[in-house]
Structure formats: C-alpha cells, structure tokens
Structure 1
Amino acid sequence: MNGYSGTLAPPGGLYVRALYDYDADDRTSLSFRQGDIIQVITQLESGWWDGVINGVRGWFPSNYCAVVTPPKDETRDAESSADEGDSGTLDGSQDLGSYSEASDTDDDGGQTQLPLEGTEPDKEEEAAFWIPQATPDGRLFYFNTLTGVSTMELPLETPSSLSENGPRDRTNVNMPESSRPPPELMAGGWHMYNGDTDDENSASDVEGPSGMAGSHSSLNNGLSTHDPMNPMSFIDQDDVDEPSARLDDKLVERLDDLKRLIVASIRKLDERLIVEEKVITEAVHQRTGERVCKAASKVLEIYRPWIATVESINLAPIGSTFQNPQIADFSVAKQKVYDMISELILTCQAVAAPLGDEWADNRGDSLEERLKNVRSVSRDLESNTAKLYFALQLLSDLMPIEDSPSSISSKRHTDMDLYNTYQRKPSTQFSRSPLGDDPLEMHSGGNNSKLKKFFGEVPAPVLPQAVPEEIPEFLQLDHEGEISYDLKSTPAQLKGGTLAGLVEQLTRHDRLDSPFNNTFLLTYRSFTTASELFDMLVKRWSIQPPAGLSREDYQLWVDKKQKPIRFRVVNILKSWFDNYWMEGNDEDAQALIQRVYAFAKDHVATTSTPGAAPLMTAVEQRARGQDAPTKRLVLTLNTSTPQPILPKHMKKLKFLDIDATEFARQLTIIESRLYGKIKPTECLNKTWQKKLAPGEADPASNVKALILHSNQLTNWVAQMILTQSDVKRRVVVIKHFVSVADKCRMLNNFSTLTSIISALGTAPIHRLNRTWGSVNARTMTTLENMRRLMGSTKNFAEYRDTLHKANPPCIPFFGVYLTDLTFIEDGIPSLIKKTNLINFAKRAKTAEVIRDIQQYQNVPYPLQPVPELQDYILTNMQSAGDVHEMYDMSLAVEPREREDEKIASFAKYDNISQQRP
C-alpha cells in the first residue's frame, strides 16, 4: 500500500468526537474544536480521514478524535445548526450540507447516511473517492480513484445557497474530459438561454449576483454562474437525448446570433484584464481576480446555449468522415473549442490564485503574466469558435433537402424542441420519438408489423402534393441550357455540359450536390487546367444582377443567389486546396497559389462572406509545399503489433532462413508504402502510358514505381528458382514462395500475391516439368486456389468479390484498376457525340475507380518494419534480370526431352503424384 488507498465508511455508521482543538493549515483540511462531532466519509491508512462538520467537508487527523455513536438529539442539534448557516456557491465547488429531518431516518426507522446537500446518493459515493497525493516537489493534489480525474483542490459539490459562511471557503472548477464539452457548461443546457435570458441579451446584460462567493477572501478563484446547475450530467449516456436537431439555415442563423454574444462577452473579458494600478497590493489582486473570474463566468454562461445547440445537431444524414471529410474538420474544430474553454477556466483560476512573495520556494508567474495568458487564451477561443461556426456552415450545405410535408413537419418539431433537448430525460415507460410524437402513436406503430403479416403491406397515406412555387427568372440558373441530362435514369443524372455550365453546377445557389463536387474536383485535370478553373470561380464570385430589378428583387437576389454563390466559391476553393490539389511546385503552380491568396485576402476577407481565414491558411500551406494532413484511420487493436520473426543469423541472411510469415509482412510493408503514394491525377488520361520528352517531369511516377516493383518481384521469384541447379532445391524454393504468397493472401496483400503467382506461371518456370512433378499436392492445391482467385475470368469476378468483402488494411491488385481506367478512357468519348459538351458521365466513372483506390490508402498495416530484411529483399529484386530473358536459363536446368522420354517421365511423375500424400 502507498498510504493513499482508502475505504468508504459504512453509510451513516461512523462518527467521531474531537478530543482536542485542531486548526487546519491548508484549504483542504478541516478545522474543529474539542467536543465537535464529525461524520467520517473516507478513511485512509495514513491516518487522514475525510469528514463533514457543520456543512463543511475536509481532511483531518484521526488521532485527534475518538469514535462515538451519536445520540439522536445530537444529530438533530447538528441538523438545526447547519440549517441556520449559509452555504456558498461557486461553479464546480459544492460543500456538504446537513441532513434534514426528513432524511434523518429511513422508512424503517433506521439511521441513514448523512446526505450531501443538493446531491443524490450516487454523487455522495463519487465524492468519497477523492484521495490526497503529492507531486515530486511536495505539492498536494487530489486524485479520484473512480473517475481518474486529478485536481489541485478538493472538488466539492455545488450547494444551493449563494454564500459560504463555513469555517473555510473553498472553490474548484473541474477539468472536462478531452472528448466532451466542459460539464459546467453543458449542465445547464438551454436552461439559461431559454429561461433566464432572451435572444436579445448581450454580454453586458448578463448581470446578477457576484460570481465570486465569499469575495472577502482573495484565495477564491472559482468561475461561477448565478444560474442553478441543471442536475443532468453527460457522464450517464442513458440520460442524454440523441442528437435530433436538423442543421438548416435557421439553426446556423441562431448560432451566428449566439456567436455575436460570445464575441461581445470575450471583449468584456479583455477589458477586465487591464490593471491601472502600478503597485499590486493584496486588495488590488483580490479585486482583479474577482473581476476577471466574473467576466469569464459570463463568457461560460453564454457558451452554454452555443454548446447545447452544437451537441444537439444530428449529422447522420450527411454520412461518415470518408464520405465527407468536412465532418472530421468539424470534430477537430469542436474539440479545440472545448479545449480552449478548459484553458480559459484554468488561466482565470490562476489570476485569482495567491501571488508568491520573496520568501516562497516557488514564486510562480506574476499577475501581468497571468493576465497575458488569459488574453491569449480568450483570443484563441474566439478564433476557434469562428472556425467551428464556419465548419458548421460547410456542413449545412451537405444536408439533404427535405421536400415532403412529413419532413417539413419533422423540421418544425425539431426546431421547437431544440431548447428542451438538454432539459428533458427520456420517459421510462415510452420511448420518445425524435420528432416528439405522442408515446401512444409510437406504441400503435408496433402493431402495423402484425397487420402486415396477415394483410400484406399497409398502404402509405396519401399526402397532398405541394404545388411547386414558381422561381423568379433572376433566381434561376444562368447556364441551365448548357447542361445535358440522362433522362433514362431515375432521377435524371447530369450527363455533360460546357465548362461554364459545370462550374455553375459546382457552385449552385439553390442546392448542393456533394457527389458531383467530389467527381468534378477529382477529375478536373482531364478537361481543364487549374488556372482556368480558378478564373471561372472568380467569375462566379463576381456575378452581377440582371438589369431592371426593383429594390426588393435586388435584395432578394443578393440574399438568395449572390451570397450563396460566394459562399460556395469559398467552400470549393478550400476543399480544392485541402483535399484535391493536383498541381506541382513549379513556377506556374506557385503563381496560381499567389493569385488565390490575393483573392482570399483582398476580396473574400473584405466582404461578409465567411471562410477567408481558413482558405488563406490552406493556401499558405500549399505555398510551403506541404500537403494537407492525411486523414488516415488509426486501428484500435486488441493486441499489440506482432513481433518480427527474425532469422538466427541476421548478418548473413539466406533466402530459406527467412520465415514465410515475416517475408510476407515485409513485402506488404514495402508495397503498402508504394500504394499509398499514388495520387488521383496519375489515374487520369492514361498518364502512366505517356511518352515523356527529355527533361519532362513524370506525371505518373508513383504508379510506375508500383508497376516496377511488381515486375522486379516477379523477376526475382523466377531467378531464385532457376538459379537452383538441383530439382529438390527448386522444389523447396517454389514451396517457400507459394507459402509467402499464401501469407500475403491472409494479409489482404493481393498485389504481392499476384506478382508471385505470375512468376510461377511464366514460360521459363511453367515448363519445368520435372520440378513441378516433385511439388507435393498440398502446395499445388494452395497454388491453384490462388490462381483461381486472381484469374481474369468474368473480368476478375472472384477477386473483385473477395476484395469487396475484405476488411482493411488491404493492398489491391493495381492492374485491375489500370484495366478499368484504360477501358473508360478508350471506350467512352471525352465529349458527348455531335456536341461540344464535356462528357461528365465519363468523369463520374473515372472518379468511382479513383475513390476505390483511395479507400484502401487510408488504413495502415499494424506491422513492424525490419530494415535488414527489407534491404535484403529490395537488393535482390533490383539485381534480378528480366524473366522474359530467362528461357535459356530454364533450358539449361531442364533441357528439352524427346517424345519417348517425355511419355516415360509423365508416367513416372503420375505414379509419384498418386503415391504422394
């Protein structure tokens, strides 16, 4: 034992009487006088016990007390005395209150445990798990053995009164978990915003009782809110409603209003960080700490409805992070906001913390440095809040359009219930509908399934058809006549169009088509240039209204067409530079990057269109030659990375000494690295077949590197077999390579698998009848199964099905993709016949293949590289000759046989194979 492990006292079963007076020397200990009765909560083996006296909780030395059984009159006296006192309130701090007369005894008349005021019994138990520990430099901190949270001060629950008149005031703000918003912000949900304030409140309007209870003490450093805390906690997931709010324009507008209040409150906080006094006395420090903590408390209050709204948004209709990378950006931005809120709490606590004097061992930061830290964190918080709002704006464009009356009703219910999402808990008798439907209706829906069994499908209710509103001409598309649709499909699919028409579809003001945008940005290099695309986007940004519009129509045109188009242009540019940038680092690319940066700085930033700062950041990153951070899956494995299987003699490696499993692992690591480097632009226009002029950069260097690697592996396999003069040694080498290929199949490495079995099927190896006749049946069966898997029958049907079912990580056989891309490029015209319209359907098929390639680039292999083995493999592969030039070597090891010898050998080998196990 380390002296800090403790046991929880039995409920209501342990009281002690003070034998002597004790004055605590720190804020977390308990002071008492001789004769006081203390209830014990926790007992540590070190002799320090956790107890409650007169509504105050703290640690005390057990050797100053004696265990007693309190008579009923004593407990009643303690109760009445505690009821007369006031208890303080600070966010995140809650002292123990007295037990009331109603809770003095249970239903059976038995003595009950002294409850914590304003808490439930499970909260009392959680509070009992705090134990003191010491840092290496001797400072005391507290660790919760139940939740794993550490804090420098003892976190006590929030009492219900507004002052703290116990022997010793104490405060604390708990740190939030990294994956959740701060509980002190989320606890209130929409309570403060919907009940205590209205939509017109500004930061200056949120006035109330001082957030610094017990302001007579300069040691108080808590951030408070004057609203009572909602009892809901995010720790219990069963009590939290599922996100149900639809991310629409109204919700985004509401978030914008809240963001303005947040910015105003942060500005107020900045004003409180100015200290005019030159000499910092204790009184000045106390006033400054109270002022800063109160202003920060108001910032947190206004963040409550913001965070409640963000957490209530249902992003399920948008899809996963693979379908829309913006979801991952939103998650990162949200987490940064939560982290900055936690930092703000800590830095404001530090402002109110005692300043060190010249006699202190650890003087800490000066007041000026602490205020500077608060200012820096508040600026970062404001910036990250703006980024989160921008991410939500981008996601709002990805939400599918609701057209049916039922969906409109759903939207209305969602908006009305949004304020109550974090206030209500689901009923224990009926499951709540996301639309807030009556539980009886939900129950009756279950009987429909029984009716279907007897009478078939229940016919859908006939809904009145909404009459489509006539769209004014000035709000219609300008290039709709330049777009061609495939009317045979349902719904009609865009088939082709002019470049201007396609760019208009890319930045439509009336709706968003994410699959179209993804296809366009993946394949734009096949029908335009980057410079031309940027010019077209700038032209869309600079759209002008039609002549002759009235003032009302002009304002409608600005709101419904110009602003959405500009927002779409910024969004497309950012997505282009983040995820679809295909240009190099030459002079033309750098010049284009500078043009885009100037456009973002001089045009976007000077308007009300959001997104200028994130766009400039993305452009600056490209200007430095850096790729955007790759969003790769991180595998969560139950076991650690497997240890490499190393040969005994690493200095002098031999082929047969390398274990087949480790051989396959190292080949997989090498090939996975090559496969992950392939870029979308290398898959367009058959660039891998392009003949290069002298000095011209290779546009498909990564594809060619993967092809070269596969060919070299095939050459090495054949050479290793043919360099063995003895039949038995050739058989052993073949068996080893077949085993390696089978291990690659188990690793979903279809690329290396194909290279090995291709080598075994080449003419110089296939003709070795004597050698193949000596290979056992088990090896031959394994080889035939792999050949059947990778066979080209029915366009690689079995391989495609196996690949589709395989769980990542995986390395596909890239030759199939090259075959598909070649078929699309050669078999489908780039322009629609008898027109000059770009055949966008062709690009959609190409983009589908590219997305298949990309999905297997996102999951890494959990394998450990062994440089010595990889060097051995690569050296031998690169030194191997061409397999098509090895026929003479094959004839040398096994010369041609005469017909009579061939018949005899076949009969002999047939008998051997029948006897073989």
Structure 2
Amino acid sequence: GDSIFEEEKQVDILMQEESDGCLGVKAATLDKLFEFLTSCECSVFFRKTFLLTYRSFTDSLTFLSYLTSLYLSSNEEEDGTRSLRVMRIVKNWVDDFVYDFEEEPDLLNRLISFCSEIEEVKKKGWAAHGALLEKMIGRVKRKEEEVEDGGENEGGEATYLFPFNNFSQWTEIEVEKFASQITLLNFKTYSKITPKEIMNYVKAKNVEEKKKLCPNVTKVVGQFNELSNWGTTMICRRCQLKERVAVMSHLLSLLQKLFDLNNLHGSLALIATFTNSAVARLKSSFERLEPQKRNLLVDLTTRLSHLSSYKAYRNHLHSIAPPLVPYIGVYLTDLTFINDGNPDLVEKRLINFNKCYLVANVIVENQQYHTPYIYLIADKHMQYSLANGCLETENESENYRLSKLIEGTDPEIAIESLLKSERALKQKIKKLELQASLCSCSLPSSTHNSFHSGNWDLGGLGEEREGGGEEDEREEQ
C-alpha cells in the first residue's frame, strides 16, 4: 500500500488576492513569474510591477530571451492569444522603459533580431501582430532621434551677469529670477531619473558606484546639498550683523518663492540652511529678523516636516498639483526601509514578489511628477552657471568656525583665531612661492627671466607679498 509518509511537494508559486480583487503572485520561482506574466490571469498591475522591478531578480537579456522563445514556439491556432500577450508585453516595455534599450546595445540588437524573426513569422499568417510590431520599432527610432537632437530648449541669452553671491545687489526681481532658474534646473535633473537609477542608488555600496549607476539621482542630491551649503556660507561670511540679517531675509524670500513654485526640493534645501548648526546658533541675527520672516520659516518648516516619516510633507505633496519638484530623500528613505526590512527570497528559493509591489508603489509615485514648468523660461547663462558650481560654498567645519567668530564668541578669542589663520596663510604662501622658485630653476633662461619679471600670473599670490620686501631683506642679512 501507499506509505503513510509522503514526500512533501515543493511549491513553485504562492498566490494571493490583490487590492483590485484580481489574482496575484505573492512569491514564485523565476520561471513561474515569467509564466504568470504571459498568462490570461495576469493583471495590468502585476505587469507594470514586473517591468518596474524585474532587474532586482533577473536581467534584461534573460527576460527578452524568454519572451522571444515563448513567442516563436507558440502555435497560432493553439497559443494565438498568448503570443499576442507577449507582443503587448514587449510593446509596454519599449513604450515605458525605452532607456533599457538605449543603455544596452546588446539588448537593442536582440530586440531588432526578434523583430526580424517576427517578420518571418508574419509571412506565415500572423498578420494581426503587424500593427504592434510597427509601433514598437517606431518608438525606438523616435527615441533615438530625440537623443541625437538633444531635446533641450534653453531659452535666450542672458542680458546681464547674475549676482549669485552678492546679496547687496539682490532685489525682489533677483529673488524671483533665481527661484525660477533653480527650479528649472532641479526639475530638469529630477525628470531624468529612471526607476533603474533610484533602485540602484539604494543598493549601491559606495559613492563611486552611485555616481556610475545613478548619475541623475547623484546630481539631484548634489544640487540639494550645494543650495543648502551655499545659503549657510552666505550667512556665515557676513561679519556685520546688519548685513547678515539682510542675507537671511533674502534667503527667506527665496524660500517663499521656491515654495510658491512647488519646488519642495529647493524649499527643504533652504530650510536645511536655517536648521544647520552654524546658522541655528546665531540668536542675535534671528532676533533682528522681521517677525513676518521668522513666522514664515516656522510655518514652512512645520508644513514640510520630516517627523513621523514625513507625514506633514506627504500631506502637502498630495494636496498640490504638478508641475512640482519633490524631495528625492523621501523616496530614497522609503526604498531603504523596504529593502532592509523585506527578504529577497521566501522559503529560501521563491522570489518575494510582495517586496516588488512595495518598491513599485514608491517608484510609481516618484515617476508621476514629470509635468514640465511650461510657464518658466530658462536663462541659458544662469542655467549653465548653476549647473557648473557658480554658488560659493565652504565646508561644514569652516562655516561653523566662521559662525563662532561672528556671533557669541569673546572678541579677544575671535581676534586670536583670525591672527592664527593669517599666520597659517602666510606660511602657505611662502611654501607655494618656494615651490614655484624651485620649479623655475629647471625652466629655460628666457622663461626664468619672465617669471622674475612678474609676467606670470600666480593666482594673486604675488599681491599678498606686497610690502613684505623689507622683512625679506632682513632675513637675507
């Protein structure tokens, strides 16, 4: 008779009911995921999630190879509907994730080969797939043309050089212009972020890997840090209280304009300026601000608060309409928690597709805010300057050192610190001059003479030495 001990059968797929009432996959092997994707039970939500997250459990060439083999092995009479579903999956892939084919030449070549094979199959009577095929190929070609053309509309030439770091020249016009241009720059970079980039950023092991795999996410994060650090530096460099308060007032006006433009990315960057330890300690400066400005900072800090997992920020984000620039840090935080808190595998061998659903939900929200600012006009000069480091910044430790000097420190201690800095700078200048002199010894005599005649520009080092001739003569004697 049969043994009372039956071998436990391994389960290759675990099913569950999705939120829309359709049947969905909780976890499965790779083959079973492919099989469900091309079945009649597959929902639009499952297909979208699969295309968004497939790189977390397979690669693009394996995915396309499976679709190709399934299509070409199908029989029109028996599997006609399945082959049509395969075609629609490939079309969705090309329509929504065309960058996969742009970035991977091998994948694009496989797609072209697949299309040529379909052409041969069409001759055998599968003419119903012809329209889908033509649209698919046309989509790739149009995207290639867009890449070749550049697709940028920068606007006209600048009529003047914008005083980025000179707040004494700022008026209400400068505040509005800066807000619009930094918003355009932030949106331009943000809208280029792909689902693949944002997923790679969370899993990247170091900074260099993030720069390589996630260039646009890295740029967006860099723009946030640069704007925040610039605001801190501009405040801490002002020694006079009146000037410092004026700069803080201008920055708060800029914060209001960014908020009005729905640039939450830039708004939070400037809020980070005022919560930075180097600025937050400047009590006398905050007391001199107009009450209206202080209330503005409190109000926007509360409305965009990070507390309770950014609850207030999320409520505000969902209450406004695009165009807007979200804060990328919220999505990166969400994905980090999902990645760390959910295993990749269930029962040691099944791909955890529930985790893919969670990741997809975050990416879908991140991708929906790509409506452009059609009413803002880019200034070519300002866009170039902002993208290439025109904002002057100091590192965090230097800003804090300056903050302690300008406010809340005993004058004698402040003077002593400045004298130490001056002595260190003079020693550095002497060292550089000595190095320059040693280098000049190995140059031809004509070049050597031009160096001593003062024709070479040493970046202003010579100017620092004016008036020091007598001291040098005494040292030689």
Bucket of the pairwise TM-score, normalised by the shorter protein = 0.7 to 0.9
Against the structure 1 CA distance between its residues 591 and 691, is the aligned structure 2 distance closer, same or farther, given a 3 Å change threshold? farther
**Alpha-carbon spacing, 1:540–1:873, altered in 2? closer, same or farther (3 Å):** closer
**2:234 equivalent in structure 1:** 720
Indicate the residue corresponding to 1:502 in structure 2.
33
* SS of residue paired to 1:724: coil
The residue number in structure 1 matching 2:376 is 863
Kindly provide the amino acid, as one letter, of the partner of residue 851 in structure 1. V
Question: How far does residue 799 in structure 1 lie from its aligned partner after superposition?
Answer: 1.0
Note the 1:689-704 alignment, pairs <5 A. Answer: 689-691=204-206, 698-704=212-218
Q: Partner amino acid for 1:823?
A: F
The alignment partner of 2:308 has SS state of coil
Q: Distance in 1 between matches of 2:291 and 2:117?
A: 69
Question: How many correspondences in the alignment?
Answer: 387
Partner residue in 1 for 2:294: 780
**Residue 563 (structure 1) aligns with:** 80
Does the 8 Å contact 1:715/1:877 carry over to 2? no
Any conservation in 2 of the 1:579–1:628 contact (CA below 8 Å)? no
Give the 3 Å change call, closer, same or farther, for CA 726–873 of structure 1 in structure 2: farther
Q: CA–CA distance in 1 between the matches of 2:126 and 2:203?
A: 45
Unaligned runs of 5+ in 2: 1-9, 148-154, 412-477
Note if contact 1:485-1:495 (Cα within 8 Å) is conserved in structure 2. Answer: yes
Matches within 5 A, 1:525-674: 525-543=55-73, 559=77, 562-581=79-98, 582-604=100-122, 606-608=124-126, 610-612=128-130, 614-615=132-133, 618-619=136-137, 622=140, 626=144, 650-651=160-161, 653=163, 654-655=166-167, 656-657=170-171, 658-674=173-189
CA gap 1:824/1:884 in 2 versus in 1, 3 angstroms:
farther
* 1:112-147 CA distance string (max 9 Å, x none): xxxxxxxxxxxxxxxxxxxxxxxxxxxxxxxxxxxx
- Structure of greater relative contact order (alpha carbons < 8 Å, 6+ residues apart): 2
The superposition leaves residues 821-844 of structure 1 with CA deviations (integer Å, 9 ceiling, x where unpaired) of 111111111112x24111111111
Distance 1:610 1:783, change over 3 A: same
Q: Give the Å deviation of 1:584.
A: 4.4
Q: Is the contact between residue 713 and residue 755 of structure 1 (CA under 8 Å) also seen in structure 2?
A: yes
User: In the alignment, which of 329, 339, 356 is matched to residue 843 of structure 1?
Assistant: 356
Matched, 1:515 2:45: yes
Note if contact 2:249-2:289 (Cα within 8 Å) is conserved in structure 1: yes
What is the CA distance between 1:606 and its match in structure 2? Answer: 4.1
What secondary structure is seen at the aligned counterpart in 2 of 1:805?
Answer: coil
Q: CA deviation at 1:772?
A: 1.5
Q: In structure 1, list runs of 5 or more residues that go unmatched.
A: 1-479, 546-557, 630-642, 899-917
| Cα distance in 2 for residues equivalent to 1:544 and 1:586 | 27
Q: Is the 8 A contact 1:543 1:562 kept in 2?
A: no
* CA distance in 1 between partners of 2:399 and 2:59 (Å): 46
After TM superposition, the score normalised by the length of structure 1 is 0.39
- Tell me the TM-score normalised to structure 2 length: 0.73
1:603 shift after superposition? 3.2
Instruction: Map 1:789-800 onto structure 2 (within 5 A).
Output: 789-800=303-314
Q: Against the structure 1 CA distance between its residues 571 and 604, is the aligned structure 2 distance closer, same or farther, given a 3 Å change threshold?
A: farther
Give the C-alpha shift of residue 690 in structure 1.
3.6
In 2, the alpha carbon distance for the partners of 1:810 and 1:511 equals 37
* Contact 2:230–2:393 (CA under 8 A) maintained in structure 1: yes
What does 1:229-248 correspond to in 2, within 5 Å?
none
2:187 partner amino acid: S
d(CA) in 1 for partners of 2:281 and 2:256? 23
Distance 2:141 2:199 in 1: 24
Change (3 A) 1:565 1:586: closer
Q: Alpha-carbon deviations, 1:424-477, whole Å to 9, x = none?
A: xxxxxxxxxxxxxxxxxxxxxxxxxxxxxxxxxxxxxxxxxxxxxxxxxxxxxx
CA positional deviation for 1:666: 1.4
SS at match of 1:486: strand
One-letter code of the match for 1:650? Y
1:676 lines up with 2:191 in the alignment: yes
Task: Give the letter aligned to residue 191 of structure 2.
Answer: G
- Distance in 1 of aligned mates of 2:221 and 2:144: 26
Instruction: Please give the residue correspondences for 1:108-123 in structure 2 after superposition, counting only pairs within 5 Å.
Output: none
Paired AA for residue 736 in structure 1: H
Distance in 2 between residues matched to 1:597 and 1:751, nearest whole Å: 42
8 Å Cα contact 2:201/2:213 also seen in 1? no
| 1:485 alignment partner in structure 2 | 15
Contact map agreement 1:500 1:536 (CA 8 A) in 2: no
Shift of 1:513: 1.1
Alignment map for 1:152-191 (pairs within 5 Å) = none
Inter-CA distance 588–563: structure 2 relative to 1 (3 Å threshold): same
Written as runs of structure 1 = structure 2, the 5 A alignment for 1:386-425 is none
Pick closer, same or farther for the CA change 1:735–1:604 going to 2, 3 Å.
Answer: farther
Q: Does 1:891 align with 2:404?
A: yes
> Larger radius of gyration, structure 1 or 2?
1
Quick one: structure 1 residues 651 and 808, their matched pair in 2 at CA, closer, same or farther if it must change by over 3 Å? closer
Partners of 2:52 and 2:355 in 1: CA distance: 12
**Structure 1 residues 698 and 852, CA gap change in structure 2 (3 angstroms):** same
> Does the CA-based 8 Å contact 2:338-2:359 persist in structure 1?
yes
User: What's the secondary structure of 2:213's corresponding residue?
Assistant: coil
Cα distance in 2 between the residues matched to 1:628 and 1:505? 35
Q: Distance in 1 between matches of 2:132 and 2:74?
A: 26
* Other-structure match for 1:805: 319
Residue aligned with 1:484, SS: strand
Q: Percent identity at matched positions?
A: 27
Describe the shift of the 1:590–1:623 C-alpha distance in structure 2 as closer, same or farther (beyond 3 A): farther
Give the direction of change, closer, same or farther, for the CA distance of 1:747–1:568 in structure 2 (3 Å limit). same
Cα offsets for 1:321-360 (capped at 9, x unmatched): xxxxxxxxxxxxxxxxxxxxxxxxxxxxxxxxxxxxxxxx
- Specify the SS of the correspondent of 2:27: strand
Name the SS of the counterpart of 1:829 in structure 2: coil
Aligned position for 1:853:
366
Aligned twin of 1:381: none
Counterpart of 2:376 in 1: which secondary structure? coil
Deviation at 1:485, TM superposition (A): 1.9
1:711 maps to which of 214, 217, 225:
225
2:335 to 815, 818, 821: 821
